[in-house]
């Protein structure tokens, strides 16, 4: 940067400075090839996020024709681990994409007709929705909730907006994307080749349609002196992206746990070697969960039964090695011992073809009860767990009893269970 001339400064005070022109942005990074390459990564990330997010949604809102079953036990651990890792990777990718493309904001004329107006409006939606989704998603993972709305409901709705606006954006820009991805990073962009002055991108030759980004005025060989090259910028973006992922996936990939400095949870830390999201104290169940008068209430077609913890232990314990896979991206495998839910259901006249509802001693909160579809009830590893890692369950892990089932979001692994109810079978047509 050169020192500003005093006269220019004085003039600047007299008259508000005029906004920049696209051609004022001379960095070689503001280039369609950079935008397209970062965009391809970000677009792929959005598709992966949409698919894995829908998996999470369907786990929590099962539809009869598209449900998940208990197998493989690590399924949700993988899909949600990928969702959160790719979500975190979006932070550097989104910043890089916005940085590379933002000079286009200053394009003149501001509007060139209704088509152009619609295109710009769609980009406003794309940028707003994606930025909102990434910022709130990451804050949620880091357990910061500076908002009053339901994160899950808003995140779900915005997911459709993000996907729709990405599809529209890629559709509109496809000709440019194809050319930009094929073009070598080292050369000058075809539009500026042979022209000393940067153009705003219209009237481009057929091989290089309007780009969405002003071509830089950079010389053919790369960046102006002291400026990052396109290659250098892309390498830095890739390294940052891999870096933030490597420093956070340890929350679910055990060998990387020592490096998980960016993760809010260390999957090795917690009572009985397992993290706790909601403590007994914060759930308000310390007294009811430790009360010797606690009984598990079983409701079924044959009536109601109440069982003490000793009676449950007397039913004979089964061992299952099943992960807790929190929706927020941490997960950890543990060894649980308890009674099979299908055996409990049979005690009150149900079968493994019945759906079940599980209720907690916790009086409020979204996770005080969960729905256990029949496919899970039938599974060998779906337990009302009484013990963890060879000890009685810690109070914070759900003492006196909690549900543990394979391939399920953590939010559905209800702790401090008070009641297991067999749901009336759906009437056959
Ligand atoms: C940018 C594109 C994204 C899309 C399309 C997307 C999509 C979704 C969808 C559809 C769900 C399921 C919501 C439901 O159960 O109703 C979900 C859940 C979730 N997403 Fe995303 N997501 C995106 C970005 C992110 C980011 C950047 C993060 C943060 C790293 C994130 C973190 C989460 C979390 C923690 C959940 C679980 C919420 C819960 O069940 O409590 N998402 N996502
Ligand atoms: N009753 C009740 N059960 C609950 C919750 C809760 O808030 N209330 N939190 C759930 C969430 S979000 C997770 S990830 C798991 C965590 O289990 P853990 O604390 O034993 O690791 O418990 C689930 N069970
Ligand atoms: Mo969770």
CATH number of the domain to which 424 belongs:
3.90.420.10
What is the Å distance from ligand 3's center to 326 Cα? 4
Say yes or no: CB of residue 210 within 6 Å of ligand 1.
no
Domain boundary among 235, 251, 267: 251
Find, among 384, 359, 354, 382, the residue nearest to 370 by Cα.
359
Average pLDDT (150-157) is 97
Which contacts qualify for 70-73: CB closer than 8 Å, 24 or more apart?
Answer: 70/375, 70/376, 70/378, 70/379, 70/381, 70/382, 70/405, 70/406, 70/407, 70/408, 71/379, 71/406, 71/407, 72/406, 72/407, 73/322, 73/323, 73/381, 73/406, 73/407
Read off the pLDDT band of 136 (50, 70, 90).
very high
- DSSP-derived secondary structure letter, 411: G
Query: Which ligand neighbours the alpha carbon of 328 most closely?
Result: 1
Token pair recorded at residue 279: 């403590």
pLDDT band at 22 (very low <50, low <70, confident <90, very high): confident
Neighbours of 262 (CB within 10 A): 17
Helix axes 32-60, 151-182, angle to 10 degrees: 150
Quote the percentage of the chain above a pLDDT of 70: 88
**Closest C-alpha to 56, from 365, 343, 331:** 331
With a cut of 90, say whether residue 1 has pLDDT above it.
Answer: no
110 CA distance to ligand 1 middle (Å): 34
Do 75 and 162 belong to one domain?
Answer: yes
Same domain, 38 and 148: yes
Instruction: Burial-class residue 321 by CB neighbours within 10 Å (0-12, 13-18, 19+).
Output: exposed
203-229 pLDDT tens trace: 333 344 444 454 554 444 456 677 789
- For residues 245 and 389, membership in a common domain is answered with no
248 lines ligand 1 (CB under 6 A): no
Spell 174-188 as b/e; 16+ CB within 10 A means b.
eebbebbeebebeeb
* Shared-domain flag, residues 304 and 392: yes
Q: Has residue 420 got a pLDDT over 70?
A: yes
d(CA 83, CA 68): 17
346/300 Cα distance (integer angstroms): 8
Residue 291 and residue 394 in one domain: yes
What is the mean predicted confidence (pLDDT) over 187-205? 44
Whether residue 234 contacts residue 29, with contact meaning beta carbons closer than 8 Å, is answered with no
Which residues touch 22 (CB under 8 Å, ≥6 apart)? Answer: 103, 104, 106, 107, 108, 198, 200, 201, 214
Segment 359-397, tens digit of pLDDT: 999 999 999 999 999 999 999 999 999 999 999 999 999
- Mean pLDDT of the 346-368 span: 96
| Domain harbouring 135, CATH code | 1.20.120
293 shares a domain with 246: no
Give yes or no for residue 355 having a pLDDT over 80: yes
198: confidence class by pLDDT, cuts 50, 70, 90: very low
Residue 165 has φ and ψ, to the nearest 5°, of -70, -30
Residue 105 or residue 15, greater confidence? 105
Cα–Cα distance for residue pair 402/59, rounded to 1 Å: 19
Tokens found for residue 198: 């940067």
**In the prediction, which pLDDT does 4 show?**
53
Place of tokens 């299908």: 342
Element (H, E) at 174: helix 151-182
Please name which ligand lies nearest the alpha carbon of 140. Answer: 1
Per-residue pLDDT tens digits for 79-100: 999 999 999 999 999 999 999 9
Distance CA 14, CA 8 (A): 10
| Distance from the alpha carbon of residue 276 to the mean position of ligand 2, in angstroms | 7
107 lines ligand 1 (CB under 6 A): no
The pLDDT value given to residue 225: 72
Q: 383: closest CA among 333, 326, 321? A: 321
Q: In this structure, are 214 and 321 located in the same domain?
A: no
Task: Find out whether 35 and 127 touch, Cβ atoms under 8 Å.
Answer: no
Q: Does 141 reside within a domain?
A: yes
Ligand 3 centroid – CA 385 distance (Å): 17
In a domain, residue 349? The reply is yes
Whether 408 lines ligand 1, by a CB cut-off of 6 Å, is: no
Q: What is the edge-to-edge ordering of all strands in the sheet holding 369-372?
A: 303-307, 296-300, 417-422, 356-360, 369-372
Answer yes or no: do 156 and 213 share one domain.
yes
Q: How remote is the CA of residue 49 from the centroid of ligand 1, in Å?
A: 7
Q: What is the mean pLDDT of the chain?
A: 89
> Residue 163 has what pLDDT?
98
Give the mean model confidence (pLDDT) for residues 184-191: 76
Quick check: CB of 166 below 6 Å from ligand 1? no
Q: What CA–CA distance (Å, rounded) separates 331 from 257?
A: 11
Q: Which domain holds residue 424?
A: 280-428
291 & 343 share domain? yes
Q: Could you tell me the pLDDT band of residue 5, with boundaries at 50, 70 and 90? A: low
Q: What integer pLDDT is reported at residue 191 of this predicted model?
A: 56
Residue 193 in any domain: the answer is yes
Average pLDDT over residues 164-179: 94
In this structure, are 239 and 359 located in the same domain? Answer: no
Most confident listed range (10-14, 127-131, 208-212) = 127-131
Helices 230-246 and 32-60 pack at an angle, to 10 degrees, of: 20
Residues in contact with ligand 2 by the CB-under-6-Å rule are 274-278, 283, 324, 326, 360, 362, 365, 367-368, 397-398, 410-411, 413-416
How many structural domains comprise the chain? 2
d(CA 230, CA 358): 55
Q: What is the mean pLDDT of residues 337-364?
A: 97
**More confident position, 227 or 139:** 139
**244 lies in the same domain as 367:** no
Atom 11, ligand 2: residue with shortest CA distance:
411
Nearest ligand 2 atom to the CA of 328 is 14
Average pLDDT over residues 269-280: 95
* 68 Ramachandran zone, left/alpha/beta (phi>0; psi -120 to 50): beta
């Amino acid at each position: 940067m050169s020192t500003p001339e005093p006269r220019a400064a004085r003039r600047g005070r007299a008259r508000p400075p005029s906004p920049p022109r696209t051609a004022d942005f001379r960095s070689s990074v503001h280039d369609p090839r950079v935008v397209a390459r970062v965009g391809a990564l970000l677009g792929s990330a959005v598709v992966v996020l949409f698919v894995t997010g829908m998996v999470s949604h369907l786990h929590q809102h099962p539809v009869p024709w598209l449900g998940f079953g208990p197998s493989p036990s690590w399924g949700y651990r993988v899909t949600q681990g990928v969702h959160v890792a790719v979500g975190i990777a979006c932070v550097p990718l989104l910043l890089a994409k916005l940085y590379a493309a933002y000079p286009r904001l200053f394009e003149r004329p501001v509007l060139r007709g209704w088509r152009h107006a619609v295109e710009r409006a769609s980009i406003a939606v794309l940028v707003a929705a994606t930025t909102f989704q990434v910022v709130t998603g990451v804050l949620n993972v880091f357990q910061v909730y500076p908002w009053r709305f339901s994160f899950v409901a808003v995140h779900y709705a915005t997911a459709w907006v993000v996907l729709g606006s990405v599809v529209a954006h890629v559709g509109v820009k496809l000709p440019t994307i194809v050319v930009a991805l094929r073009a070598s990073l080292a050369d000058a962009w075809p539009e500026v080749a042979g022209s000393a002055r940067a153009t705003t991108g219209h009237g481009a030759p057929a091989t290089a349609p309007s780009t969405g980004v002003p071509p830089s005025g950079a010389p053919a060989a790369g960046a102006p002196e002291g400026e990052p090259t396109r290659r250098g910028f892309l390498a830095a973006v890739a390294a940052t992206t891999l870096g933030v992922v490597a420093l956070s996936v340890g929350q679910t990939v055990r060998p990387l746990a020592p490096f998980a400095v960016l993760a809010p949870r260390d999957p090795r830390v917690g009572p009985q070697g397992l993290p706790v999201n909601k403590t007994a104290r914060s759930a308000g169940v310390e007294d009811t969960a430790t009360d010797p008068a606690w009984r598990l209430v079983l409701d079924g077609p044959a009536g109601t039964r109440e069982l003490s913890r000793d009676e449950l232990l007397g039913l004979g314990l089964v061992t299952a090695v099943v992960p807790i896979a929190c929706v927020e991206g941490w997960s950890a495998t543990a060894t649980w011992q308890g009674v099979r839910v299908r055996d409990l259901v049979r005690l009150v006249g149900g079968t493994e073809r019945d759906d079940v509802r599980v209720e907690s001693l916790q009086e409020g909160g979204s996770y005080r009860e969960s729905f256990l579809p029949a496919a899970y009830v039938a599974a060998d590893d779906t337990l009302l767990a009484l013990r963890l890692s060879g000890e009685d369950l810690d109070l914070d892990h759900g003492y006196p009893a909690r549900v543990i089932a394979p391939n399920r979001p953590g939010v559905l692994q209800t702790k401090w269970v008070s009641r297991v109810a067999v749901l009336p079978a759906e009437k056959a047509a």
